[in-house]
Amino acid sequence: MAPSAASSILLLLALLHPAAAAARHRHRLAASLRAAPPDASPPPTTFFEVDRPIRPPRGSAGPCSALLLSGTFGATYGRPPATAAYAPPACLGAARARGAGLALAVLEWSADCRGRQFDRIFGVWLAGAELLRSCTAEPRPNGILWSVSRDVTRYAALLAEPGEVAVYLGNLVDKTYTGVYHANLTLHLYFHAAPPQQQQQADLILPISRSLPLNDGQWFAIQNSTDVQSKRLAIPSKTYRAVLEVFVSFHSNDEFWYTNPPNDYIQANNLSNVPGNGAFREVVARVDGEVVGAVWPFTVIYTGGVNPLLWRPITGIGSFNLPTYDIEITPFLGKLLDGKEHDFGFGVTDALDVWYIDANLHLWLDHKSEKTTGSLLSYDASGLDYNVNSEFSGLDGQFVTSASRHMSATGWVKSSYGEVTTTFYQRFSYENSNVFRKNGTVQIVNQTIDAKSGIFAKDASSVLLSGEFHEVFPLYLYTGTSDKVGDEYSLDSLVKFGINEKKTSGGKLGFSFNSLQNAQSARGTMRVKKNLVVSGLGKTDQVYKYVGTDGCYFRDVSSRNYTILFDRSDDSCSKGAYSGASTKLNNQSARRKLLVNKL
Ligand SMILES: *[C@@H]1O[C@H](CO)[C@@H](O)[C@H](O)[C@H]1NC(C)=O
Ligand SMILES: *[C@@H]1O[C@H](CO)[C@@H](O)[C@H](O)[C@H]1NC(C)=O
Ligand SMILES: *[C@@H]1O[C@H](CO)[C@@H](O)[C@H](O)[C@H]1NC(C)=O
Ligand SMILES: *[C@@H]1O[C@H](CO)[C@@H](O)[C@H](O)[C@H]1NC(C)=O
Ligand SMILES: *[C@@H]1O[C@H](CO)[C@@H](O)[C@H](O)[C@H]1NC(C)=O
Ligand SMILES: *[C@@H]1O[C@H](CO)[C@@H](O)[C@H](O)[C@H]1NC(C)=O
Ligand SMILES: *[C@@H]1O[C@H](CO)[C@@H](O)[C@H](O)[C@H]1NC(C)=O
């Protein structure tokens, strides 16, 4: 079977080769297990990912909603994506005609499933540009429901044109794995009374993905460390800004890449079924072979990962709405404005089979001139710094890996809006400690990814944009296997991970600030027989704190085995208890005060 049936494949193979499965489970956590059905007949369970609600701007009208696609995903693995013709909803045309701007566009996926099924990765594309990367929830016999919404306002240019919607969700159905996914994809639009003074969204979005027809998703499948997948495309010669938005997910041998031991440990212990290549990965983006940026991805854990009981009904951070990553490539525009095709490519350092990657190239065009010009002024991409300290004896040992990368580029672009000099930088650091104990039956991973990026754009007279984005992804993962008898074993696990972000932006478009602390702590036990969870317990706590100039959101929620123990949320910015940063951030003068205090 090809590797692209997402995270479940290893398990299906493992079922056919119990010895291999046993070896695998002894040394690392299980991939995407499926919980055994409970006996009662409760109503369908609603699963959810904790996120802040997407709110239309004050005073906007809507929503005007349109069903884009309604699909059934049964035996869809290795088949063409479900597709539907997209025509811009009439309300969008009408709003444009009366001069009203798009205030917010939300793409909503809502789905149900009943029976037994693995977690499946899926993607949604419009005209080849990816709009959503997600993982399905694992069903129960009595059924489950879930929905996920993504703010797709930045794709306004795509939404205004006819195109084709495609959804690839590779599912397999048989006597054991009976779950068929049904899903509706709906677009909700909100409008301003008048067009905004300054348009923030790109004028054109070019997909860097595979074109249909395909018996797969439109993503590139990157299978090893030398595999670079790319697309050649020409951009309009009147482009003055360009941003690459990258979609990433990792599966099969790299589903838990941060737990992979180095190859010398694997060889010394004859662990032919344990994925290796060490515990560091990064996605590197190249234009005409030159590094323009990197993505050090958040460690999304899919709904069947580690212990499936942990993610019911609160799913893992990012699992229903995988994060995307922006790389500003404006400094490099000078080379790309010649009207010729250029090569946009992606590779993954130390990759094992398989990474699904594609990107959308967001372009801003000069409406008053047919030609912009530009040039790169400085460029520094010194490459990856990488170090592993490895110490082991038999199956026990410790592997400490650290890595860092820095890149920066400055370039100017001259358009009818002036000559703008843009600097973009990225600074990454990574620390990972992997400890194996008790003859390799216990594994403890402690990892921190720290990613900082910044953009600074100025013209002759002023600073147009000065922004900084800092993300920290901590991860602590304990797994302990015990009581192994034949094809049965027990697994204790503890997962603590999260996303901490801070974003500031200043310049002509005004000041904005937001900070997010989103953390999950999940603890579970399970007894596994032939890759079926026969008994167990999962408990998950999540605290989500968002404070921004666009509002605040707080949620503290806890679940155990499908049951919500408590769920508190608050969207006011005034509760000092929830936000160390500030109070009443919605208030202009308070906002300025915050800025002054920070300076
Ligand atoms: C999809 O929409 C149809 C028609 O409104 C509805 O009957 C069905 O329940 C929806 N399915 C899901 C999974 O939301
Ligand atoms: C890496 O993957 C590419 C693309 O599938 C393949 O052509 C190549 O042979 C692979 N290289 C190795 C060393 O496996
Ligand atoms: C690994 O396999 C080799 C060759 O079959 C054997 O000589 C060696 O003892 C094995 N090592 C371990 C740790 O099992
Ligand atoms: C450790 O595990 C190996 C491989 O499973 C096994 O051969 C060995 O007997 C174990 N050693 C101890 C001390 O349990
Ligand atoms: C994880 O590592 C960091 C330093 O890299 C350390 O501060 C932290 O205490 C470690 N966490 C655990 C639970 O060991
Ligand atoms: C949790 O769910 C598992 C699997 O259905 C079950 O074996 C276990 O008894 C449950 N535990 C509790 C405390 O509800
Ligand atoms: C905004 O905050 C300032 C300072 O806290 C306060 O004096 C003012 O009344 C607030 N304005 C509104 C509209 O809430």
**pLDDT by residue (tens digit) across 319-371?**
999 999 999 999 999 999 999 999 999 999 999 999 999 999 999 999 999 99
pLDDT given for residue 39 in this prediction: 54
Does 4 fall in a domain?
no
Q: Which of 395, 443, 485 to mutate to test the pocket of ligand 4 (most atoms within 8 A of CB)?
A: 395
* Look-up of token digits 């208890």: 577
Does 3 fall in a domain?
no
How many angstroms separate the alpha carbon of residue 178 from the centre of ligand 2? 34
3-class SS letters over 47-115:
EECCCCCCCCCCCCEEEEEEEEEEEEECCCCCCCCEEEEECCCHHHHHHHHCCCCEEEEEEEEEEEECC
pLDDT given for residue 22 in this prediction: 31
Burial of 184 (0-12, 13-18, 19+ CB in 10 A): middle
Read off the tokens for 146: 């879930």
Nearest to 135 by CA among 152, 159, 151, 117: 117
Q: Residue 16: enclosing H or E segment and its boundaries?
A: helix 9-16
How many angstroms separate the alpha carbon of residue 437 from the centre of ligand 2? 34
Per the structure, the complete domain to which residue 117 belongs is given by: 9-598
CB of 395 shorter than 6 A to ligand 4:
yes
Q: Number of structural domains, the chain?
A: 1
Cα separation values, 112 from 115, 136, 141, 147, Å = 11, 9, 12, 9
Q: Which of 535, 558, 565 to mutate to test the pocket of ligand 6 (most atoms within 8 A of CB)?
A: 535
Residue 71 has pLDDT above 90, yes or no: yes
Indicate the Cα dihedral angle 312, 315, 319, 325, nearest 10°: -170
Would you give the DSSP letter of residue 121?
E
Does 1 fall in a domain?
no
How many angstroms separate the alpha carbon of residue 542 from the centre of ligand 4? 38
Does 2 fall in a domain?
no
Type of residue found at 598 = K
The ligand placed nearest to the CA atom of residue 270 is: 3
Give pLDDT tens digits for 108-159: 999 999 999 999 999 999 999 999 999 999 999 999 999 999 999 999 999 9
Classify 123 as helix, strand or coil. Answer: strand
The ligand placed nearest to the CA atom of residue 592 is: 7
Q: Are 433 and 399 in contact (CB under 8 A)?
A: yes
pLDDT over 90, % of the chain: 82
Ligand 3 atom 12, closest CA: 269
Does 343 fall in a domain?
yes
Cα separation values, 197 from 57, 100, 418, 509, Å = 15, 11, 18, 10
Cα separation values, 502 from 201, 244, 252, 505, Å = 21, 20, 32, 10
Q: Which of 574, 586, 587 to mutate to test the pocket of ligand 7 (most atoms within 8 A of CB)?
A: 587
The ligand placed nearest to the CA atom of residue 481 is: 4
Q: What is the pTM of this model?
A: 0.89
CB of 421 shorter than 6 A to ligand 2:
no
Does 68 fall in a domain?
yes
Read off the tokens for 396: 């026990």
Q: Which atom of ligand 7 is nearest to 583's Cα?
A: 5
Cis peptide upstream of residue 63 (ω within 30 degrees of 0): yes
pLDDT given for residue 576 in this prediction: 45
Residue 298 has pLDDT above 50, yes or no: yes
* Look-up of token digits 């000078």: 334
Does 94 fall in a domain?
yes
Does 79 fall in a domain?
yes
Give pLDDT tens digits for 182-201: 999 999 999 998 777 677 89
Q: Which of 27, 267, 269, 270 to mutate to test the pocket of ligand 3 (most atoms within 8 A of CB)?
A: 270
Ligand 6 atom 11, closest CA: 537
Q: Residue 190: enclosing H or E segment and its boundaries?
A: strand 181-191
Per 3-state DSSP, what percentage of the chain is helix, strand, and coil (rounded to 5)?
10, 50, 35
Give pLDDT tens digits for 397-453: 999 999 999 999 999 999 999 999 999 999 999 999 999 999 999 999 999 999 999
Of 29 and 92, the one with more pLDDT = 92
The ligand placed nearest to the CA atom of residue 402 is: 5
Nearest to 208 by CA among 371, 118, 324: 324
Q: Give ligand 1 pocket residues (Cβ under 6 A).
A: 70, 110-112, 182-184
Q: What average pLDDT is seen over the chain?
A: 89
